[in-house]
Structure 1
């Protein structure tokens, strides 16, 4: 089953929804790191949430979700880049945690992170960057994000998220803002009550159309064409070169006095980038030109 996101609407109501399934994408993320099961599960839910929210907000730009805390894990981060007619919506994720901590496979988000907060960053291609912050006031990521939408967007929103050994998935329901077209005032209560019957293994194993049929076969829903999802990292040699240049010429030269080269690594995908002393000199002398070697 290819990773994708499925949009749907309830006819003659102001209720819309999305279902996301991530198997290969989730697999690509966890294959690059030795995460405990408890970290994998929370990171999988974060990936599914990032996919759902990018489509819900209709952002033409990068969305990132960061869960920051002071517990066994200090950071969970997922980032989503929107898709288009040629490319799938791409996602990546990373976690920072105490490798010596005893992390249970069924640990809650609150217990894993301790005191902390969630930062949602919207970085559109055109327009102003926006950040919203919500406290970790729920045991689950879904609960925290529902609170965010209630307080910041003032849109009734419900999420159901799940992650297992090999897949992650999620379901989102939301009412349309300022919509007067609804001919069914009970649609929101009815659709959320039915969604509350969904099981984690259904989110992880069923195709979105099959899941929607199980939940809403007695409802009139309109299902749109699915949009693909995939793993994708935006790191590059050029980006790391720019980061090195931001250190300044003096610091770079001082670093080279004690080291013959600078090795860097992407935290998301673990790709390594090697910059020799000659590469660094080239960067300093030609800051606008690409590095002469690629490793």
Structure 2
């Protein structure tokens, strides 16, 4: 199956794993924007990594991964919800050339924000962006912010993105458990980009761990979905206030708003704008006696 999150668990070791492969989801993002290859490659890695990290969360949350820097790619963001809806976008310099992560982002930061579904609280961690590629940067981030050993591998082509994550679960820190982690980490590190991209999830798991006792769960679907809508844009205009909206319309015939994630365009003219701020009056029907 394509566009899936495949979870698996090592029965005799306190280790979990996740494998993500994106096909239609990845192509849907490419259809929304025409990104140069260096931007597209990094965006594919960020998208895949976001799904992998969101899969480690215990509670229903939206995970947002942002990269900010002073290089040719100054800003990139991907959101992944608990029900595996993904969207992403990037800003970039027109003359961008291929390069390593530091060459593309410059002096950068990696920010990961969690927004629980049933709470107004937001949790964010920000670290300096280190390493030659995103997988190294995330490994560094996880080593700073998580108490659980975690490793990640990422691969991107024009047709598919894929990623593998393994994580040590809380357990007694025995010599046997540490030996098991070292063995699984070494096995995982033998995966190649070609194998991640070309093999199915069951084939990857068998290729890496056929000598281990592994429980494989039902795959979970992933899709590209942007929650933008005309109502959301209307609420944004209401927050500007009627005077500001009228001032814009005096200079422009329409107010045009384009979603940076999905490129959907929304247009409001003067009549639409007045309707946004029209006062709703509720009339009470008087009591009638017979």
What SS class does the counterpart of residue 178 from structure 2 fall into?
coil
1:92-129, Cα deviation, whole Å (9 max, x unpaired): 11010011x1322xx22221100110110101112321
1:57-102, Cα deviation, whole Å (9 max, x unpaired): 234121110001111111111110121xxxxx11111010011x13
Paired residues for 1:1-295 under 5 Å: 1-83=1-83, 89-99=84-94, 101-104=95-98, 107-127=99-119, 128-177=121-170, 179-180=171-172, 184-286=177-279
Unaligned 5+ runs, structure 1:
84-88, 289-295
Query: Shift of residue 184 of structure 1?
Result: 4.0
2 CA distance for matches of 1:223 and 1:45? 24
What SS class does the counterpart of residue 214 from structure 1 fall into?
helix
**Residues 112 and 124, structure 2, Cα contact 8 Å, conserved in 1:** yes
1 CA distance for matches of 2:102 and 2:14? 33
2 CA distance for matches of 1:126 and 1:32? 30
**Residues 59 and 122, structure 1, Cα contact 8 Å, conserved in 2:** no
State the number of aligned residues.
279
Aligned Cα RMSD in Å?
Answer: 1.6
2 CA distance for matches of 1:207 and 1:26? 16
Query: Shift of residue 30 of structure 1?
Result: 1.2
1 CA distance for matches of 2:108 and 2:279? 43
**Residues 38 and 96, structure 2, Cα contact 8 Å, conserved in 1:** no
2 CA distance for matches of 1:3 and 1:58? 22
Given the two structures, how large is their TM-score scaled by the length of structure 1? 0.91
**Residues 43 and 88, structure 2, Cα contact 8 Å, conserved in 1:** yes
1 CA distance for matches of 2:19 and 2:280? 45
Aligned counterpart, 1:86: none
2 CA distance for matches of 1:270 and 1:146? 32
1 CA distance for matches of 2:148 and 2:254? 52
1 CA distance for matches of 2:92 and 2:206? 39
Given the two structures, how large is their TM-score scaled by the length of structure 2? 0.92
- Compared with structure 1, are the counterparts of its residues 175 and 286 closer, same or farther at alpha carbon in structure 2 (3 Å cutoff)? farther
Query: Shift of residue 287 of structure 1?
Result: 8.4
1 CA distance for matches of 2:148 and 2:76? 25
